[in-house]
A and B are shown apart, each in its own frame.
Chain A
């Protein structure tokens, strides 16, 4: 969708960190989300961040939010082959998604 921008592809080796970036335009959302889509399935909520936070850590996942630049990132530590999927960002008030970022994890 026209309201978020993400890189289309990311390839990493197993055990490395992955960083997926998103630039959004909707500044009215109170929550910002990361969704994960595994092959052949629908999207599932992976994690989220409240808009008044800069960072949220959830096990191997770290979400960083820069409201000034409208930039959201998702860092996956110790990336595993099971993390291979398409990742989408979205705002609570705008349920439009882009193409997402396809993460490929090589053994």
Chain B
């Protein structure tokens, strides 16, 4: 398996523009997580899904952020409108509840670095 795949790796946009980040989890994994990493706040959990259903979105900063998982192999994180304070590295991770050692290990993508000017 290729691992968790995120796109784009880098995005530079202007304030007010819509940003869509994409994630393909590892095949067979039933959990998907979105994180945001900044120097100020560290690694924050934004939202996670189980079997494509959002379970906890309490970390989503505000209504400008939305996440979807239309099927088991694809998820998006959308920011509309974007602001300079949204500049960060956004990570997607997936895990499986069906065995594995250790259970619950998270597999991370390489991240999407977003810069909002």
Contact residues of A with B, CB < 8 Å?
1, 30-31, 33, 35, 40-45, 48, 50, 88, 92-93, 95-100
Please measure, in the bound complex, the distance between the C-alpha atom of A40 and the C-alpha atom of B41, giving whole angstroms: 17
**A42-B43 Cα distance, complex, nearest whole Å:** 11
Q: Which bucket holds chain B's interface residue count?
A: 20 to 34
* Pair count A-B, CB < 8 A: 58
A97 CB to nearest B CB, Å = 4
- Pair A97/B41 contact, Cβ less than 8 Å: no
29 A-B pairs (CB sep. < 8 Å): A1-B42, A1-B45, A30-B103, A31-B104, A33-B102, A40-B110, A41-B111, A42-B93, A42-B108, A43-B93, A44-B108, A45-B105, A48-B102, A50-B102, A88-B43, A92-B103, A92-B104, A93-B104, A95-B48, A95-B95, A95-B104, A96-B45, A97-B35, A97-B42, A97-B43, A97-B45, A98-B43, A99-B42, A100-B42
Contacts of B45 in A (CB 8 A): 1, 95-97
Q: Is there an interface contact between B44 and A92, defined as CB atoms closer than 8 Å?
A: no
Known: A31-B103, A93-B104, A98-B43. 15 other contacts (CB 8 A): A1-B42, A41-B110, A42-B4, A42-B93, A43-B108, A48-B102, A50-B102, A95-B48, A95-B95, A95-B106, A97-B35, A97-B42, A99-B41, A100-B42, A100-B43
Main secondary structure of the interface of A (DSSP, over half): loop
